Amino acid sequence: MNKNVYLTELLQKDYKETWDYQTDLLQSIIDVKIKNRREKQSNQTDNYFLFVEHPHVYTLGKSGEMEHLLLNEKQLKEKEIAFYKINRGGDITYHGPGQIVGYPILDLENFFTDIHKYLRLLEEVIIKVIGEYGLKGERSEGETGVWLDVGTPFARKICAMGIRTSRWVTMHGFALNVNTDLGYFDHIIPCGIRGKAVTSMEAELGRQVDLEEVKMKILAHFKEQFEVKEFIKKASL
């Protein structure tokens, strides 16, 4: 089993371009798996991890409802916000500057074949990361992602998650609000959950947080939780 992961930093990149790139990577892994089974081979499959920061965009998952987007097409254009219906799980969310988006494209057969465990470990990575800044991240039953003050009237989400898997290969991932402009969440019902707030590390700590520092902490905890052998830096296609 290959536990090395190619790491690609996409910097600021359009959502649709990144989505297409993820799809290409996922398909390249699946092609190897299909060939292995057809030809009774055992070629190694690769794993990838993408970091990216998107321009303003709302994305609606397969289980989402259009009424959770509170802007019409004209308003989206006026505010220069893109919108896509996409093939991940979950409802509607926002991506934008100051947010760290991570897309692990893993062949889970290199790690473990358990989607529930995969999501819980992704959450654990973020819980560990924000814990280093004195923030107590928690899970909220039935609501994927990482929250603060669960079970109180002040519950608020700091990291959204939504994934897709095909033949045990993952795509999409998590979006951690670091220095994110939270005003953009006012135009949606985040994750389709009414009456719950969204927050950021900046809002909680009262200061801007270094994005590169947070990324390094994410990689360190991801490596630990998923027992990654090594991250190998790789340019995009």
Q: Where are the domains of the chain?
A: 52-99+108-227
Annotated active-site residue 191? The verdict is yes
Q: Is pLDDT of 147 > 70?
A: yes
pLDDT tens digit sequence for 161-185: 999 999 999 999 999 999 999 999 9
Write down the catalytic residue from 127, 176, 188, 191: 191
Residue 231, Cα to own-chain centre: how many angstroms? 18
Among 4-8, 62-66, 104-108, 232-236, the least confident range? 62-66
What pLDDT shows up at residue 236? 77
pLDDT at 193 > cutoff 90: no
Residue 178 near residue 201, CB atoms below 8 Å: yes
**Could you tell me the two tokens for 127?**
């819980």
Q: What is the pLDDT of residue 91?
A: 86
Contact by Cβ (8 Å): 147, 157: yes
Q: What is the pLDDT of residues 90-146, one digit of tens each?
A: 889 999 999 999 999 999 999 999 999 999 999 999 999 999 999 999 999 988 999
- Residue 74, pLDDT > 80, answer yes
pLDDT at position 194 is 63
Domain 52-99+108-227 has CATH 3.30.930.10: yes
Band (226; pLDDT cuts 50, 70, 90): very high
Q: What is the pTM of this model?
A: 0.95
pLDDT number for residue 44? 97
Residue 98, pLDDT score: 98
